[in-house]
Structure 1
Amino acid sequence: MKIAKDSVVRFHYTVSEVGSEPLETSKDREPLAILIGHGNIIPGLENAMMDKEAGESFGVDVGAAEAYGERRDGLTQRVPKKHFGAQKLSVGQQVVLQTNFGPRAVTIQKIGMSVVDVDLNHPMAGKDLHFDVEVIEVREAKAEELEHGHVHGDGGVEH
Protein backbone atom coordinates (compact mmCIF):
# COMPACT_ATOMS: atom_id res chain seq x y z
CA MET A 1 0.00 0.00 0.00
CA LYS A 2 1.30 3.44 -0.94
CA ILE A 3 1.28 6.34 1.51
CA ALA A 4 -1.65 8.67 0.80
CA LYS A 5 -3.98 11.03 2.66
CA ASP A 6 -5.75 9.26 5.55
CA SER A 7 -3.23 6.41 5.75
CA VAL A 8 -1.35 5.56 8.93
CA VAL A 9 2.43 5.40 8.62
CA ARG A 10 4.90 3.99 11.14
CA PHE A 11 8.46 5.11 10.42
CA HIS A 12 11.91 5.70 11.84
CA TYR A 13 13.68 8.98 11.19
CA THR A 14 16.95 10.76 11.79
CA VAL A 15 16.97 14.55 11.51
CA SER A 16 19.87 16.95 11.16
CA GLU A 17 20.45 20.48 9.98
CA VAL A 18 21.48 20.26 6.33
CA GLY A 19 25.21 19.44 6.26
CA SER A 20 25.47 18.83 10.02
CA GLU A 21 25.52 15.96 12.50
CA PRO A 22 22.21 14.29 13.50
CA LEU A 23 20.12 16.13 16.09
CA GLU A 24 17.61 13.40 16.86
CA THR A 25 16.70 9.88 15.84
CA SER A 26 13.89 7.44 16.59
CA LYS A 27 16.10 4.37 15.93
CA ASP A 28 16.49 3.65 19.67
CA ARG A 29 12.74 3.62 20.38
CA GLU A 30 9.43 2.66 18.81
CA PRO A 31 8.78 4.05 15.32
CA LEU A 32 6.73 7.23 15.10
CA ALA A 33 3.13 6.66 13.97
CA ILE A 34 1.23 9.41 12.16
CA LEU A 35 -1.98 9.96 10.26
CA ILE A 36 -1.12 11.46 6.87
CA GLY A 37 -2.91 14.63 5.80
CA HIS A 38 -3.91 15.83 9.26
CA GLY A 39 -1.04 18.16 10.17
CA ASN A 40 0.70 15.70 12.49
CA ILE A 41 4.20 16.31 11.08
CA ILE A 42 5.92 19.15 9.24
CA PRO A 43 4.55 19.66 5.72
CA GLY A 44 7.82 19.12 3.86
CA LEU A 45 8.37 15.69 5.40
CA GLU A 46 4.76 14.65 4.94
CA ASN A 47 4.86 15.63 1.25
CA ALA A 48 8.10 13.66 0.74
CA MET A 49 6.44 10.54 2.16
CA MET A 50 3.60 10.47 -0.36
CA ASP A 51 3.53 7.37 -2.59
CA LYS A 52 6.26 5.58 -0.57
CA GLU A 53 5.65 2.02 0.67
CA ALA A 54 6.61 -0.09 3.68
CA GLY A 55 10.25 -1.13 3.44
CA GLU A 56 11.37 1.99 1.56
CA SER A 57 14.11 4.24 2.89
CA PHE A 58 14.84 7.73 1.60
CA GLY A 59 16.51 11.01 2.44
CA VAL A 60 14.98 14.45 1.95
CA ASP A 61 16.03 18.05 2.53
CA VAL A 62 13.23 20.21 3.90
CA GLY A 63 13.61 23.99 3.75
CA ALA A 64 12.74 26.06 6.82
CA ALA A 65 9.49 27.33 5.29
CA GLU A 66 8.23 23.72 4.93
CA ALA A 67 9.63 22.64 8.31
CA TYR A 68 9.15 24.81 11.41
CA GLY A 69 8.83 28.09 9.53
CA GLU A 70 11.13 31.03 9.12
CA ARG A 71 12.52 32.64 12.24
CA ARG A 72 10.52 35.76 13.17
CA ASP A 73 12.32 38.66 14.84
CA GLY A 74 10.55 40.24 17.79
CA LEU A 75 8.59 37.11 18.67
CA THR A 76 9.35 37.45 22.37
CA GLN A 77 7.30 37.64 25.52
CA ARG A 78 7.91 38.60 29.13
CA VAL A 79 6.62 35.89 31.47
CA PRO A 80 6.33 36.05 35.28
CA LYS A 81 9.01 33.85 36.83
CA LYS A 82 6.41 31.94 38.87
CA HIS A 83 5.25 30.19 35.67
CA PHE A 84 8.56 28.31 35.54
CA GLY A 85 8.10 26.73 38.98
CA ALA A 86 11.22 25.82 40.91
CA GLN A 87 13.35 24.84 37.91
CA LYS A 88 16.78 26.44 37.60
CA LEU A 89 16.84 28.71 34.54
CA SER A 90 19.70 29.79 32.29
CA VAL A 91 19.94 31.98 29.17
CA GLY A 92 19.67 29.86 26.01
CA GLN A 93 17.84 27.05 27.82
CA GLN A 94 14.83 25.55 26.10
CA VAL A 95 11.84 24.91 28.34
CA VAL A 96 8.20 23.98 27.85
CA LEU A 97 5.63 26.40 29.22
CA GLN A 98 2.00 25.49 29.76
CA THR A 99 -0.19 28.00 27.92
CA ASN A 100 -3.92 28.41 27.30
CA PHE A 101 -3.28 26.65 23.97
CA GLY A 102 -1.30 23.74 25.43
CA PRO A 103 2.44 23.23 25.96
CA ARG A 104 4.82 25.51 24.05
CA ALA A 105 8.58 25.19 23.66
CA VAL A 106 10.37 28.50 24.33
CA THR A 107 13.99 29.61 24.62
CA ILE A 108 15.08 31.76 27.57
CA GLN A 109 16.62 35.06 26.47
CA LYS A 110 16.92 37.07 29.70
CA ILE A 111 16.26 36.35 33.38
CA GLY A 112 15.18 39.17 35.69
CA MET A 113 14.25 39.26 39.36
CA SER A 114 10.56 38.52 38.78
CA VAL A 115 10.19 38.06 35.00
CA VAL A 116 11.78 36.01 32.23
CA ASP A 117 12.01 37.10 28.57
CA VAL A 118 11.45 34.17 26.22
CA ASP A 119 11.75 33.66 22.46
CA LEU A 120 8.54 32.07 21.13
CA ASN A 121 10.04 30.87 17.85
CA HIS A 122 10.21 27.09 17.62
CA PRO A 123 13.81 26.05 18.42
CA MET A 124 14.13 24.68 14.86
CA ALA A 125 12.60 27.77 13.16
CA GLY A 126 14.70 29.14 10.33
CA LYS A 127 16.65 25.91 9.90
CA ASP A 128 16.84 23.80 6.74
CA LEU A 129 16.60 20.17 7.80
CA HIS A 130 17.63 16.81 6.37
CA PHE A 131 15.64 13.68 7.20
CA ASP A 132 16.62 10.06 6.67
CA VAL A 133 13.42 8.02 6.80
CA GLU A 134 12.68 4.28 6.92
CA VAL A 135 9.02 3.42 6.32
CA ILE A 136 8.10 0.47 8.56
CA GLU A 137 4.36 0.08 7.97
CA VAL A 138 1.55 1.67 5.95
CA ARG A 139 -2.09 0.88 6.63
CA GLU A 140 -5.54 2.37 6.22
CA ALA A 141 -6.68 4.53 9.12
CA LYS A 142 -9.55 3.33 11.30
CA ALA A 143 -12.74 5.41 11.38
CA GLU A 144 -12.01 6.53 14.95
CA GLU A 145 -8.50 7.68 13.99
CA LEU A 146 -9.91 9.74 11.11
CA GLU A 147 -12.53 11.24 13.44
CA HIS A 148 -9.89 12.17 16.05
CA GLY A 149 -7.23 13.24 13.53
CA HIS A 150 -4.43 11.08 14.96
CA VAL A 151 -3.23 7.49 15.28
CA HIS A 152 -4.40 5.29 18.14
CA GLY A 153 -2.55 2.34 19.63
CA ASP A 154 1.00 1.24 18.84
CA GLY A 155 3.12 4.37 18.41
CA GLY A 156 0.09 6.68 18.59
CA VAL A 157 -2.20 8.16 21.24
CA GLU A 158 -3.65 5.92 23.93
CA HIS A 159 -7.14 7.02 25.05
Structure 2
Amino acid sequence: MTKASTGDTVRINYTGRLTDGTQFDSSAGREPLQFTLGAGQVIPGLDQHLEGMETGEKSTVTIPPEAAYGPRREEAIQTIDRSGVPAELDLKVGAQLQARTADGQVMPITVVDFDDKSVKLDTNHPLAGHELVFDVELVDVVKAA
Protein backbone atom coordinates (compact mmCIF):
# COMPACT_ATOMS: atom_id res chain seq x y z
CA MET A 1 0.00 0.00 0.00
CA THR A 2 1.15 3.51 -0.77
CA LYS A 3 1.47 5.98 2.11
CA ALA A 4 0.62 9.65 1.57
CA SER A 5 3.34 12.19 2.21
CA THR A 6 3.86 15.92 1.66
CA GLY A 7 3.95 16.82 -2.03
CA ASP A 8 1.89 13.82 -3.15
CA THR A 9 -1.36 14.29 -5.03
CA VAL A 10 -4.12 12.61 -3.03
CA ARG A 11 -7.77 11.85 -3.71
CA ILE A 12 -10.19 11.46 -0.81
CA ASN A 13 -13.82 10.73 -0.20
CA TYR A 14 -15.03 12.64 2.83
CA THR A 15 -17.95 13.79 4.94
CA GLY A 16 -17.52 16.87 7.12
CA ARG A 17 -19.78 17.59 10.07
CA LEU A 18 -19.93 19.66 13.22
CA THR A 19 -19.57 17.95 16.60
CA ASP A 20 -23.38 18.08 16.98
CA GLY A 21 -23.67 15.87 13.87
CA THR A 22 -24.74 18.61 11.43
CA GLN A 23 -23.21 17.77 8.04
CA PHE A 24 -21.68 20.76 6.21
CA ASP A 25 -20.04 19.06 3.23
CA SER A 26 -19.50 15.70 1.55
CA SER A 27 -17.96 14.27 -1.58
CA ALA A 28 -20.83 11.76 -1.87
CA GLY A 29 -22.18 11.72 -5.40
CA ARG A 30 -19.13 13.59 -6.71
CA GLU A 31 -15.62 12.74 -7.77
CA PRO A 32 -13.20 12.37 -4.85
CA LEU A 33 -11.54 15.61 -3.75
CA GLN A 34 -8.05 15.88 -5.27
CA PHE A 35 -5.28 18.11 -3.91
CA THR A 36 -1.56 18.22 -3.20
CA LEU A 37 -0.79 17.22 0.36
CA GLY A 38 0.91 20.02 2.29
CA ALA A 39 0.25 22.70 -0.34
CA GLY A 40 -2.35 24.56 1.75
CA GLN A 41 -5.24 23.61 -0.53
CA VAL A 42 -7.30 22.22 2.37
CA ILE A 43 -7.48 23.13 6.04
CA PRO A 44 -4.24 22.36 7.92
CA GLY A 45 -5.77 19.78 10.26
CA LEU A 46 -6.98 17.66 7.36
CA ASP A 47 -3.61 17.96 5.59
CA GLN A 48 -1.82 16.80 8.75
CA HIS A 49 -4.25 13.94 9.36
CA LEU A 50 -3.77 12.46 5.88
CA GLU A 51 0.03 12.43 6.19
CA GLY A 52 1.08 8.78 6.54
CA MET A 53 -2.32 7.28 5.68
CA GLU A 54 -2.33 4.39 3.21
CA THR A 55 -4.40 4.03 0.04
CA GLY A 56 -7.78 2.51 0.98
CA GLU A 57 -7.50 3.53 4.64
CA LYS A 58 -10.53 5.10 6.33
CA SER A 59 -10.50 7.21 9.48
CA THR A 60 -12.31 9.88 11.45
CA VAL A 61 -10.60 13.00 12.75
CA THR A 62 -11.80 15.90 14.91
CA ILE A 63 -10.06 19.12 13.97
CA PRO A 64 -9.95 22.09 16.40
CA PRO A 65 -10.78 25.58 15.09
CA GLU A 66 -7.09 26.60 15.15
CA ALA A 67 -6.30 23.89 12.56
CA ALA A 68 -9.46 24.58 10.51
CA TYR A 69 -10.96 28.04 9.87
CA GLY A 70 -9.66 29.68 13.05
CA PRO A 71 -11.56 31.15 15.99
CA ARG A 72 -14.49 33.51 15.52
CA ARG A 73 -13.26 37.10 15.64
CA GLU A 74 -15.56 39.88 16.78
CA GLU A 75 -13.52 42.42 14.80
CA ALA A 76 -14.58 40.55 11.64
CA ILE A 77 -18.13 41.86 12.14
CA GLN A 78 -18.42 45.25 10.47
CA THR A 79 -21.14 47.77 9.75
CA ILE A 80 -20.96 49.52 6.39
CA ASP A 81 -23.03 52.20 4.71
CA ARG A 82 -26.02 50.74 2.82
CA SER A 83 -24.83 52.50 -0.33
CA GLY A 84 -21.77 50.20 -0.28
CA VAL A 85 -23.97 47.21 -1.13
CA PRO A 86 -25.38 46.83 -4.66
CA ALA A 87 -29.01 48.03 -4.66
CA GLU A 88 -30.17 44.99 -6.67
CA LEU A 89 -29.22 42.61 -3.84
CA ASP A 90 -32.26 41.35 -1.97
CA LEU A 91 -30.81 41.55 1.54
CA LYS A 92 -31.96 39.06 4.16
CA VAL A 93 -30.51 38.33 7.59
CA GLY A 94 -28.39 35.19 7.24
CA ALA A 95 -27.86 35.66 3.49
CA GLN A 96 -24.47 34.50 2.24
CA LEU A 97 -22.65 37.00 0.03
CA GLN A 98 -19.18 36.99 -1.47
CA ALA A 99 -16.53 39.65 -1.88
CA ARG A 100 -13.09 39.59 -3.44
CA THR A 101 -10.08 40.46 -1.35
CA ALA A 102 -7.25 42.65 -2.69
CA ASP A 103 -5.37 39.50 -3.74
CA GLY A 104 -8.36 38.10 -5.65
CA GLN A 105 -9.48 35.52 -3.08
CA VAL A 106 -13.22 34.99 -2.63
CA MET A 107 -14.35 35.79 0.91
CA PRO A 108 -17.71 34.59 2.26
CA ILE A 109 -19.78 37.23 4.05
CA THR A 110 -22.96 36.77 6.09
CA VAL A 111 -25.58 39.50 6.51
CA VAL A 112 -26.14 39.92 10.25
CA ASP A 113 -28.53 42.91 10.22
CA PHE A 114 -29.51 45.82 7.99
CA ASP A 115 -31.73 48.87 7.69
CA ASP A 116 -32.13 51.72 5.21
CA LYS A 117 -28.81 53.30 6.25
CA SER A 118 -26.42 50.49 7.07
CA VAL A 119 -25.62 46.79 6.69
CA LYS A 120 -23.92 44.71 9.39
CA LEU A 121 -21.71 42.01 7.85
CA ASP A 122 -19.83 39.09 9.37
CA THR A 123 -16.66 38.26 7.44
CA ASN A 124 -15.79 35.26 9.63
CA HIS A 125 -15.81 32.01 7.67
CA PRO A 126 -19.13 30.25 8.43
CA LEU A 127 -17.19 27.38 10.04
CA ALA A 128 -14.86 29.61 12.10
CA GLY A 129 -14.87 28.74 15.79
CA HIS A 130 -16.15 25.20 15.23
CA GLU A 131 -14.50 21.86 15.80
CA LEU A 132 -14.90 19.91 12.58
CA VAL A 133 -15.27 16.14 12.29
CA PHE A 134 -14.23 14.46 9.05
CA ASP A 135 -14.78 10.87 7.98
CA VAL A 136 -12.15 10.33 5.29
CA GLU A 137 -11.15 7.57 2.92
CA LEU A 138 -7.84 7.88 1.09
CA VAL A 139 -8.78 6.71 -2.40
CA ASP A 140 -5.54 7.30 -4.28
CA VAL A 141 -1.99 8.61 -3.87
CA VAL A 142 0.17 9.77 -6.75
CA LYS A 143 3.70 10.09 -5.45
CA ALA A 144 5.48 13.40 -6.04
CA ALA A 145 8.07 13.27 -8.81
TM-score (norm 2): 0.87
Partners of 1:72 and 1:4 in 2: CA distance: 33
| Cα distance change, pair 82–141 in 1 and its aligned pair in 2 (3 A) | farther
Deviation sequence 1:86-113 (CA, Å, 0-9, x none): 2322112222123323210011112232
Extract unaligned runs of 5+ from structure 1.
143-159
Matched, 1:120 2:131: no
Measured after TM superposition, the shift of residue 80 of structure 1 is: 5.0
SS where residue 51 of structure 1 aligns?
Answer: coil
CA RMSD of aligned residues (A): 1.8
Matched, 1:99 2:94: no
Partners of 2:97 and 2:135 in 1: CA distance: 27
Q: What count of residue pairs does the alignment treat as equivalent?
A: 142
Structure 2 counterpart of 1:88, one-letter code: D
Q: What does 1:9-158 correspond to in 2, within 5 Å? A: 9-77=10-78, 78=80, 80-81=82-83, 83-84=85-86, 86-101=88-103, 102-113=105-116, 115-141=118-144
Partners of 1:73 and 1:66 in 2: CA distance: 19
- Percent of paired sites with the same residue: 32
Match of 1:148 in 2: none
SS where residue 48 of structure 1 aligns?
Answer: helix
TM-score (norm 1): 0.80
Moved over 4 A (4+): 79-85
